[in-house]
Homo-oligomer: A and B are copies of this chain.
Amino acid sequence: MTHGKEVTVRFHPDSLRATSATLLEWGGLTAEDAAVAADVLVAADLRGVASHGVSNMLRVYVGWLRGGHVNPRPQTRLVSETPSGANIDSDRGLGVSEVPRAMRLAIEKAGSTGVGVVTVGNGRHLGMGAYHAMMALPHDMIGVCLSATGPVMVPTFGREPRIGTNPIAFAAPSGKHFPVVADFALTTVAGNKITTAQRFGLEIAAGLVADAEGRPMMHPFTPEARPDITVPTGIGLLPLGSSPEMGSHKGYSLGVIVEVLTGILSGTGFGARAGRAIMNHMVAAVDIAAFVDPVRFKSLMDDFIAALQATPPAAGAERVLVPGQLEWEAEQDRLRHGIPLHPEVVTWFELACREAGMPCTLEVVSS
C-alpha cells in the first residue's frame, strides 16, 4: 500500500461509514442520526457520486453542525398531517438525516392510501437525493425527492439568479435489472464545476453559464482569452436547455415547479428570498400495487430497460445508458473493490479524528 499521489487507495465501505458516523456524532448528531447521515454519504460514494460523498460533504456537514448553521438536535414539528400528506418543520436539521425520516413517513402513508407526500420546510442540505427516493424500492414503491436550494440559476431572459439548482431524484424498481434511478440538477451543470474552471482558468464549455448581462454563453471560452466576458462566480448558471431557442424556459419552469412543491408548499419560502442557506424538500412514495400488480410493473420495466439498452448507438458512442445504470455499475465495483479516496481526504480523516479525540480507522481493501 502506498499513500503517494500516484495510487488511489480503496477503502471498505463499512469502515468509512463507521468513521463518518463517529465524526458526525462529534458534530453533535445523535448516534442514530449520525449512522443514517453516514449511510447517505457512503451510498453516494458507492454509486460513484463523489460530489455528494464523504470526500466533499462530510467536512462541510461537520463544519455546519459545529458552526451552528445546522441544528444538530432539531425539535422537528409536524405542522400538518392527513392520510396521504404531511408537512414537517425540520428546525434547521440536517437534511441528510431528517429527510430519511420524512421518506419513511411518506412510505407509511403510501402503504395505507397508495400515495404519500411529505414536505420538509426550514431544512438543510439532504445529500444525494437518490438515496431518499431509493428508500421506496424495497417496498415495491416509486420514490421521488425534490430539493430547492439558494438561487444560482438565471431565469430565461434574466440577468440575475432567482432559482436554485433544485435537483430532482426518482427511483422505480425493475425485476431482473437494476432499478431506474435519475438524480440531476435543473441547471446544465453544478456550480462547483464553473467555480473550479474559473479558479484554474480552464475553458468553460458552451451552454453552461450566462455572462454578467445575462446572455447565454453558447460558445466555449476561457476567462483569460475573453476578458470582456464576465461570469458571476458560480452563480450565473443556465437552466437545462441553455438558450431560449433550445428550450431553456423548460428548465427554468422545472426549477419553478420544484420551488413551489418544496419551499412554498411547506410554507417556508422560496430560494430567491431565503438566500443560499435554507433548503426545502419534498419526498413522495407511490405504492405500485395501488395501480397495477407489481409483478406486471417490474416485467414491463425489464422490457423497457432492455428496449432502451438495445437502441443502436449514435456514431462515435459506445452504448445507450438507462438512468441509474452507470451508478449501479459503480456500486457493483465498489462493493467488491472498495471506495477510492484521494490521499488528501485520507489525511483529512486522520486530522479530524485526532481533533475530535476519537479513535477511528479506515480499513483498506486494495491499493
Contacts and interface: CB of A to CB of B under 8 A. Distances in A.
Contacts of A251: 240-241
A3 B308 CA distance: 50
A269 interface: yes
A153 B150 CA distance: 32
A124 B54 CA distance: 48
Interface in A327-348: none
A311 interface: yes
Interface of A: 79-87, 110, 112-117, 119, 142, 154-160, 162, 168, 170, 172, 180, 182, 184, 186, 188-189, 205-208, 210, 213-215, 240-243, 245-247, 249-254, 256-257, 259-261, 263-267, 269-270, 272-273, 286-288, 290-293, 296-297, 300-301, 303-304, 307-308, 311-323
Given A242-B242, A290-B85, A307-B272, A214 B317 contact: yes
Contacts of A254: 168, 182, 254
A307 B160 CA distance: 11
Contacts of A286: 85, 117, 261, 265
A103 to B, nearest CB: 15
B85 A313 contact: no
A206 B84 contact: no
Contacts of A252: 323
Contacts of A241: 188, 240-242, 251
Given A273-B307, A290-B82, A207 B157 contact: no
A315 B214 contact: yes
Nearest to A324: B253
Contacts of A87: 290-292
B250 A113 contact: no
Nearest to A260: B172
Contact of A158 (B207, B301, B313, B316): B313
A207 B260 CA distance: 29
B80 A256 contact: no
B323 A249 contact: yes
Given A270-B300, A272-B304, A265 B245 contact: no
A329 to B, nearest CB: 15
6 contacts: A117-B286, A182-B256, A240-B251, A249-B323, A256-B323, A267-B296
A239 B82 CA distance: 38
A273 B302 CA distance: 13
A253 B254 CA distance: 13
